[in-house]
Amino acid sequence: MRLKSNLPPLPLILLLWLAGLGAAGQFAKIAVPFDMVRQLYPDAGAGQGWLLSVISVFGILFGMMAGVLVGRYGSRRLLVAGLALGALMSFWQSAQPGFGAMLASRMIEGLSHLAIVVAAPTLIAQIAPDPLRNFAMTLWSTFFGVAFALVAWIGLPWAQVHGVTGLFLFHGATMAALAVAVWFLLPADTVAAGGETSLRPHALLARHLSAYGSPRIAAPAAGWLFYTLTFVSLVAILPPLLPMHLQATIVGVMPLTSIAVALLVVTPLLRRWPAPGVVMAGFGLSALVLSGFWLGVPTPVLCVLLFATLGLVQGASFAAIPALNASAQDRALANGALAQMGNLGNTLGTPVLLLVLAGWGTGGLLAVVILIYLAGIALHLWLWRRRLRE
């Protein structure tokens, strides 16, 4: 694709990755300083939790629709709209509106988040030349973990000095700057409306059925569901099982280990193995690592090794989207499905695994997680066989 600027692909890929950091920041700006956010609305009670989870609900409901919108209006338009809308919502939140208005802004922010996480990776796959594409997609896969780390290291101290509303203001300014940069630096969209991009209810239902019925479009999302069922929930559940003096260190190392493996290991592996094969290897190694619990492997070692092997799933799942889907529209639908399944996994994972832990203890919890990973392998194998028959 011909670019509006003379920049080579790599700076543009980094710009799109920064847009992903902004999207992940929509979660992190609430989750990381959550105690400070709760102090803004002390009378909201349990409703405070909806300030974080409502974005996931919108992702479950409208993830695939975002993929359809990319096909209808174009990735760049939707990305700029998502960034601009996200900036407006952060600016509104910085004014400390009432709880009802704040919750409404988070609902709107959910639409902004979806637009970004579907449009940006679709653009990355278009812009990246073949030798760079696997690295570009694995880089994209790190956006969530990197954003949370940055908000924890930089955003939280900023909020402690300037208040959480100051953090919202900073996030809004960042999103606005990214919207301007994307508008001026990325190429104009060439996708026209029509045909299979209709927004009528029956057409949207047909696109859902068609996408999830495709072994190419659905495969990355199918594996991602089993990944997200455990990733965030284990970050929350495992720390109390660790020795007290190691909890903070191990919790900080776990996601960083996944990021390092995704960046440094996945790209070389993808030169030899297809992306779905790397995903299955990641699930298999994760199950093998967890089986070490019954062999007496120390829990801190298990935690770090588990998140290292999950880094294979993280990086290769995003790389599988352009590897399995040639057209921009199919890639957009695959990104929409991945967002949908990811939000479903994030929403269900923690409550389900907490119930398992309460009923069956640590051994039962790890056994269920192993079964989840084996189910991910089985589903990927089934979809692989379907692709062979095409």
Alpha-carbon distance of 324 to 335, in angstroms, equals 12
Q: Label residue 192 by pLDDT band (50, 70, 90).
A: very low
pLDDT of 58 higher than 90: no
pLDDT computed for residue 197 by the predictor: 58
CA angle 74, 145, 364 (to 5 degrees): 115
3-state helix/strand/coil string of the chain? CCCCCCCCHHHHHHHHHHHHHHHHHHHHHHHCCHHHHHHHCHHHHHHHHHHHHHHHHHHHHHHHHHHHHHHHHCHHHHHHHHHHHHHHHHHHHHCCCCHHHHHHHHHHHHHHHHHHHHHHHHHHHHHCCHHHHHHHHHHHCCHHHHHHHHHHHHHHHHHHHHCHHHHHHHHHHHHHHHHHHHHHHCCCCCCCCCHHHCCCHHHHHHHHHHHHHCCCCHHHHHHHHHHHCCHHHHHHHCHHHCCHHHHHHHHHHHHHHHHHHHHHHHHHHHCCCCHHHHHHHHHHHHHHHHHHHHHCCCHHHHHHHHHHHHHHHHHHHHHHHHHHCCCHHHHHHHHHHHHHHHHHHHHHHHHHHHHHHHHHHHHHHHHHHHHHHHHHHHHHHHHHHHHHHC
pLDDT computed for residue 170 by the predictor: 97
pLDDT computed for residue 196 by the predictor: 56
Q: Can you list the domains of the chain with their CATH numbers?
A: 1-132+139-199 (1.20.1250.20), 205-390 (1.20.1250.20)
Between 304 and 44, where is the model more confident? 304
Q: Label residue 211 by pLDDT band (50, 70, 90).
A: confident
Across the range 306-331, mean pLDDT stands at 92
pLDDT tens-digit profile of 118-160? 999 999 999 999 889 999 999 999 998 899 888 988 998 999 9
pLDDT tens-digit profile of 232-280? 778 777 877 888 888 778 877 888 899 999 999 999 999 999 999 999 9
Q: Label residue 94 by pLDDT band (50, 70, 90).
A: very high
pLDDT tens-digit profile of 69-93? 887 788 899 999 999 999 999 999 9
